[in-house]
Amino acid sequence: MWRKLTVLVLLFAALLFVVPSTLAQEKSYSAERFDVDVVVQSDGSLLVTETVDFSFVGEPFTFVFRELPTEKTDGVEILSASVDGRTYPQGTNAGQVEIEPGSNIRVTWHMEPTANTTRTFVLEYRMLGVVRQTDTADVLRYQPLPDEFEYTIDSSTIRVTYPSVADLQQPPSITAGSAEMTQSGNTVTFTQQNIGPDETLVFGMIFAKGSLISEPPAWQTRQAEQNALAPVWIGLSLVILAVGSLGAYWMWRTYEPDKVKGTAVLYEPPNDLPPAIAGVLNGNGVKPTWSNALATLFDLADRGILSIEEVEDKKWYEGRDFAIVQQKQPGSLRPHEQGLLDLLFDTKRGRETAVKMSKLSNMVNGKQWKKFTDPLEAEIKAAGYIDQARKTRRQWIVVSSFIFLLLCVAAFIALPAFLINLYGGWPALIAFSFLILFIIWISVGSSLTVLTDEAKAMADEWQSFYNYMKDVTRKKAAVGGTNMFNRFLPYAASYGLLHQWAKFFQKEGWTELPPYFHAVSRTGNDQMAAFVAMAGTSSSSGGSAAGAGAAGGAAGGGASGAG
């Protein structure tokens, strides 16, 4: 049996490696050359001719595309597109070229199915307003090759010709990528070999001011006007952020009760509250979490109602698992304790007496989880720990925070639709201000307590005890009291410290475990290791429970590909 299973596993692994490799070889393409001829015009535009020899291998290809960004230009005009010397008319059928406008103009050659051959694609276009003007110079910064492509290029020759009257102030520079550069008169040539996918080239040329263009391109003028308004947008966003933050601060100071805490550190639980309720109060009394359910589980186990047993007959491919077993049905339980038993053992098949911890994550979602949380919340409310006015106010603040989120979304929607062409990206600061205010307001709302003053004072005492337990796990406080590990275990679970608590005492050499825990191994060290594993498994089981660039600034670039 094992021999057959081993053979099947090996065959499956071979298929995983061989089949994708075989499929990848069925269809591929590369460029034998990608040449670009750039003629700089006296008005600062570029007349560009791209010539690409694509070699197609394997399954048929039906299109080739090129995307041309319009950023840092006054626009791009497509002049012609041809394949193997034949100019394609516009259209979407084979033998036609499709031109889609936008911030990235997409040119798609639609061709008849092509395989195992080399074809030449030529694209001619004019890029307007590429040469920009600074205080001292006319500057050409250009990216002739695309910066997004998945194929290799055997060789590339980029030839740049500029007007003879233009005064080149210094040798051209390469700011991204690498290439051999030669210059003859007013022509500069860049050559590259063996270009890998997404490898790009950016070059710069600096001319004397006014020798190439008489005034900046329209996009640069518009950008300067937009930048001039930047202080207005910055100031407006800061005002919005300041007013919203002050409002949140006022809400917090007005509705958060004064904290009157004792200075004494509590080394024992301050009263006899059930661990689950103590944990909820310590979290501002908002919502029960899986940690509170674990606290109840260990508390019931301490009282002999439950046991935790390591599973012996697990599968070879499974990790350690543990079963929660109900040992007896007590006469009286608190509603939330009975709710936990119902959560664990009520199934569609009827009442059961054992459940694996690996299955718990399926029980802490939706209606099932309410079997525990509803009675626990009802107990807390019945005890008079919740201030309904504070709860309503907290909910109002949290809901109000989403107004800022809606304003943020609206601002981001309006940005590309109406504002970016007029003001550039500066209005995005308003959107970010609303986003920050959303975070501030929802944080303030979430931090406000819903507890009464008396319950808050009691929660502060439990906070002191929690701080002590946390300091113990960090070796900032001494271990004290008799059998501290077992006695405080339910509280450690309720505070979310279960795994840290178990690991700390394991490192301290602790081997005396609760009588309700049964590991497969009977030796002390192995039993403690099993308990640590159980703590990690149980803590993560309820995790889903409710409540719980080089080419920047250059024109050109874009994408290219085939399929």
Give all strands (DSSP E) within 274-422, no chain letters.
Answer: 306-310, 322-326, 346-347, 350-351, 354-356
Determine the straight-line distance between the first and last CA of the chain, rounded to whole angstroms: 46
Helix or strand (DSSP H, E) at 201: none
Find, among 99, 72, 342, 96, the residue nearest to 219 by Cα: 72
Task: Tell me how crowded residue 95 is: count the other CB atoms within 10 A of its CB.
Answer: 13
pLDDT of residue 537: 81
323 in the Ramachandran plot: left (φ > 0), alpha (ψ -120 to 50) or beta? Answer: beta
In a 3-state reduction of DSSP, which class is residue 317? coil
Tokens of 167: 């005064």
In a 3-state reduction of DSSP, which class is residue 552? coil
- Alpha-carbon gap, residue 160 to 146, rounded angstroms: 16
Q: What share of the chain is helix, strand, coil (3-state, %, to 5)?
A: 40, 25, 35
- Alpha-carbon gap, residue 561 to 31, rounded angstroms: 10
- Alpha-carbon gap, residue 277 to 380, rounded angstroms: 7
Q: What tens-digit pLDDT sequence spans the chain (563 residues)?
A: 444 445 455 555 555 554 454 444 578 999 999 999 999 999 999 999 999 999 999 999 999 999 999 988 999 999 999 999 999 999 999 999 999 998 899 999 999 999 999 999 999 999 999 999 999 999 999 999 998 999 999 999 999 999 999 899 999 999 988 999 999 999 999 999 999 999 989 999 999 999 999 899 988 888 888 888 889 999 999 999 999 999 999 988 888 776 665 557 788 999 999 999 999 988 655 688 889 999 999 999 999 999 999 888 665 545 688 899 999 888 789 999 999 999 998 888 888 889 888 887 777 766 788 999 999 999 999 999 998 898 899 889 999 999 999 999 988 887 766 777 777 888 888 999 999 999 999 999 888 888 898 988 888 889 899 999 999 999 898 887 778 999 999 999 999 899 999 999 999 888 888 999 998 877 767 888 888 888 888 877 655 444 434 455 677 677 777 77
Tokens of 71: 């950023």
- Alpha-carbon gap, residue 99 to 156, rounded angstroms: 25
- Residue identified by tokens 């609206």 is 410
- Residue identified by tokens 């290439």 is 179
| pTM passes above 0.85 | no
84 in the Ramachandran plot: left (φ > 0), alpha (ψ -120 to 50) or beta? Answer: left
Sign, Cα dihedral of 276, 277, 283, 287: positive
In this structure, what is the dihedral angle of CA atoms 182, 183, 189, 192, given to the nearest 10 degrees?
10
In a 3-state reduction of DSSP, which class is residue 33? strand
Tokens of 17: 């490696």
Sign, Cα dihedral of 271, 277, 283, 284: negative
- CA 443, distance to chain mean position in Å, is 20
The contacts of residue 30 (CB under 8 Å, 6+ apart) are 54, 55, 151, 152, 153, 154
List Cα–Cα distances, 154 to 52, 54, 123, 493, 506, in angstroms: 11, 10, 19, 63, 62
pLDDT of residue 544: 44
DSSP state of 196: P
Task: Tell me how crowded residue 545 is: count the other CB atoms within 10 A of its CB.
Answer: 22
What CATH superfamily is the domain 28-216? tricorn interacting facor f3 domain (2.60.40.1730)
Asked if 490 contacts 498 with a C-beta cutoff of 8 angstroms, the reply is: no
- Alpha-carbon gap, residue 496 to 538, rounded angstroms: 11
Tokens of 452: 């009464």
- Alpha-carbon gap, residue 431 to 420, rounded angstroms: 13
Three-state helix/strand/coil letters over 122-156: EEEEEEECCCEECCCEEEEEEECCCCECCCCEEEE
Q: What does the chain come to in residues? A: 563
- Residue identified by tokens 């103009």 is 105
Find, among 138, 263, 152, 316, the residue nearest to 213 by Cα: 138
Burial class (CB in 10 A: 0-12, 13-18, 19+), 320: middle
Q: Residue type for 105, please?
A: I
List Cα–Cα distances, 395 to 258, 431, 450, 508, in angstroms: 20, 24, 10, 44
Residue by residue, DSSP assigns 286-311 as ----HHHHHHHHHHHHHTTSEEEEE-
